[in-house]
Amino acid sequence: MKLGVNIDHIATIRQARGTDYPSILDAATLAEQAGADSITLHLREDRRHMQDHDLYTLKPLLKTKMNLEMAATNEMLAIALDVLPEDVCLVPERREERTTEGGLDVVKQFQQIKEITTTLKAAGIRVSLFIAPDKEQVDASHELGAPVIEIHTGHYANLTDLTLQKAELEKIQLITTYADEKGLVVNAGHGLHYTNVQNIAKIQQINELNIGHAIVAKAIFIGWEKAIQLMQQCIRESQN
């Protein structure tokens, strides 16, 4: 199972003071050296962390691949077509939210997401749709031609009631199998940390986990590369 390291919150620290440090490029380079399989970043409409120039700086220098998370808007589409990341993950975005809440409603926004997906695919970009573990959303994603889905694990991560968390995990397991059988590549992410990633990492059909906040938080105390390696160790050990 691959690990995509989300470096948004390195930029959050930089933007808090308007400095040019911590360096996004150093974060990405060191993450790759530590074993990250891809570098994930979210260019939000309000530019609260990543800035446009970060994408242009990183793209030619990444050794792995860039996974750009973005809203399904014309503004973001134009940027993606200019930067040409290897992967784009379409996410829902609301200006007032603290982080990405919920998945895309691919059923309701079918036409708009289909058009953006088709345009990105024509440019050679692999498109992933960030969706809740829901059969209808998987069906719609498959129907509009997305090759990849990313299952939103935020609800699973936030649940404190163990019975409810187990039920949500079972839903993620079932939907992963369902999507995998349809031929979709299945990624997962959001809210995963060092003690809840294990059950998700046991789901063999998952291709890649995208994790950010928990790794940046851990890095404050043990260092960036160690925090990434520790997450990889958690993933590996739960698969044995």
Which residues are identified as catalytic? 42, 69, 190
Tell me: does residue 231 bind ligand PXP (CB under 6 A): no
Return the bridge partners of 6, or none.
40
Shortest Å distance, C-beta 130 to ligand PXP:
4
Site for ligand PXP in 57-116 (CB under 6 A): 69, 89, 91, 99-100
Shortest Å distance, C-beta 217 to ligand PXP:
9
CB 35 within 8 A of CB 224: no
Shortest Å distance, C-beta 188 to ligand PXP:
8
CB 67 within 8 A of CB 32: no
Torsion of CA 121, 173, 188, 169, to 10 degrees: 150
Q: Which residue has the tokens 């308007």?
A: 18
Q: Which stretch binds ligand PXP (CB under 6 A): 56-64, 115-123, 158-166, 209-217?
A: 209-217
CA 219-153-97 angle, 5° bins: 80
Alpha carbon distance 180, 206 (integer Å): 8
Q: Which stretch binds ligand PXP (CB under 6 A): 70-78, 175-183, 200-208, 211-219?
A: 211-219
Q: Binding pattern to ligand PXP, positions 172-201, x when CB under 6 A?
A: -----------------xxxx---------
Q: Give me the half-sphere count of Cα atoms (radius 13 Å) on the Cβ side of residue 186.
A: 26
DSSP 3-state assignment of 91?
coil
The contact set with ligand PXP (CB under 6 A) reads 6, 8, 42, 69, 89, 91, 99-100, 130, 150, 189-192, 210-214
